[in-house]
Amino acid sequence: MINQESANDTYEHQMVYKLRYHVGQASVNKLITMRKDMDVSKELWEEYTKKVNDDNNAFELNVRVLTKSQWPIKSLDEVRMNEIFSLRVQRFTNFYKKKYEGRKIVYCPNYGDVELKLLWTDKSYIMTVSTLMANVLILFNDHDDLTYKEILEKIAGSDITDDLKDELECHILGLCNPKKALILKKENEKKPNLQLSEKLSINRAFNHKFLRFSCTPMGNKKKTEKEKQTLNTQVKQERQMVLDAKLVKIFKARKTINEQELIGEILNLKLMWKPTTNEVLQRLENLIDEKEWVERDSKNPKLYHYVA
């Protein structure tokens, strides 16, 4: 959705609502909000283009405004947009803040995309790259070569976070990919990493079999593993909340129930995953010890009473 690659918006809406019918409202709430975000963003952009007279025809700008808490994306607040972009971006920022007082807008150049025309080659190539990649390439308009450290300083200044450094490295390595080789690594050509002192230069002899192509960032194994761990933690927490809610619902209806009946009712529910008996018992213990919503029977430890 974020790259607007949907074949048909109507079919996408239908798919989301069919999914809601089969798995429930709670399971697709974020997806529905994301879909609404795209619709509202489209209307907002249309309003901006009508109200703001943009006399700079150097390139066509399009901004998608999303609800940060609903999207699995990470913003890079420290990125300094090249002045080619920054003037137009600031104009939209002023419009947005005037329309929505008190709201904060943060740009994510690592998720946007830009179409660039290569002017140093014999053929007329048009390529699609990320906004962050475009910021890097534009630096070479004024320099024959730059070290990785110099690029970092021009993109983010002196206060460079580890997240931005890792993200930028992936985008630069994507430009250094031997299959495209828009930027040449002068040292350690085969190593999939960058040293701060390493020099990078534009490939003046660039050649590609297609006149229109795309260049994507290189994957970051460390980042992928970290994201996987974060996702697993989030899934575990959400499942715990679902089990807690189902347990409380059963207790409110039954008031008193024995352990086997309780586990049986939970396992027979149509959930997005198949919970284990141990998972159910762990959440039951949480309701007893931490929440204090449930208590064991004084005579029968397998019998539980709802007390909240």
Q: Is residue 128 helix, strand or coil?
A: strand
In this prediction, residue 211 carries a pLDDT of 92
Identify the pLDDT of residue 126: 92
Task: Give ∠ CA 273-279-285 in degrees, rounded to 5.
Answer: 145
Helix (H, G, I), strand (E, B) or coil at 79: coil
Q: Which neighbouring-strand residues pair with 202? A: 183
Task: Give me the residues paired with residue 214 across strands.
Answer: 128
Share of the chain above pLDDT 70, in %: 87
| C-alpha triplet 220, 116, 203: angle, nearest 5° | 70
| Side-chain half-sphere CA neighbours of 41 within 13 A | 17
How many CB atoms within 10 Å of residue 300? Answer: 10
Of 178, 157, 179, the C-alpha closest to 168 is 157
- Residue 220's pLDDT is 59
Spatial CA neighbour of 220 closest among 156, 153, 174: 174
Helices (H), the chain: 9-23, 25-51, 83-99, 131-139, 148-156, 162-175, 221-254, 259-267, 277-289
pLDDT tens figures, 145-197: 899 889 988 888 777 777 788 888 888 998 988 888 889 887 766 677 788 88
Q: Which residues, 6+ apart, have CB-to-CB distance to 199 below 8 Å?
A: 145, 146, 147, 186, 187
Condensed to tens digits (0 to 9), the pLDDT of residues 55-106 reads: 555 677 888 888 887 787 777 666 788 888 888 888 889 999 999 888 888 8
Domain boundary assignment for the chain: 110-219, 224-306
d(CA 110, CA 108): 5
**Does the structure show a pLDDT above 60 at 266?**
yes
| 145, β-bridge pairs | 201
Assigned fold of 110-219: Ribosomal Protein S5; domain 2 (3.30.230)
DSSP label of 276: -
pTM of this prediction? 0.66
Query: Distance between CA 71 and CA 110 in Å, rounded?
Result: 14
φ/ψ region of 135 (left if φ > 0, alpha if ψ in -120 to 50, else beta) reads alpha
> pLDDT higher for 22 or 165?
165
Q: Pull the structure tokens for residue 254.
A: 């039954």
Q: Is the pLDDT of residue 198 over 70?
A: yes
Which of the following CATH numbers is that of domain 224-306: 1.10.150.20, 1.10.760.10, 1.10.10.10, 3.40.1160.10? Answer: 1.10.10.10
Residue 174, amino acid: G
Domains 110-219 and 224-306 fall in the same CATH topology:
no
Distance in angstroms (rounded) separating the CA atoms of residues 109 and 162: 17
How sure is the predictor about 3, in pLDDT bands with cuts at 50, 70 and 90? Answer: low
Backbone angles phi, psi at 265, to 5 degrees: -65, -40
**CA distances (Å), 264 to each of 21, 30, 199, 297, in order?**
25, 30, 64, 19
Sign of CA dihedral 108, 114, 119, 122: positive
pLDDT level of residue 113 (50, 70, 90 thresholds): confident
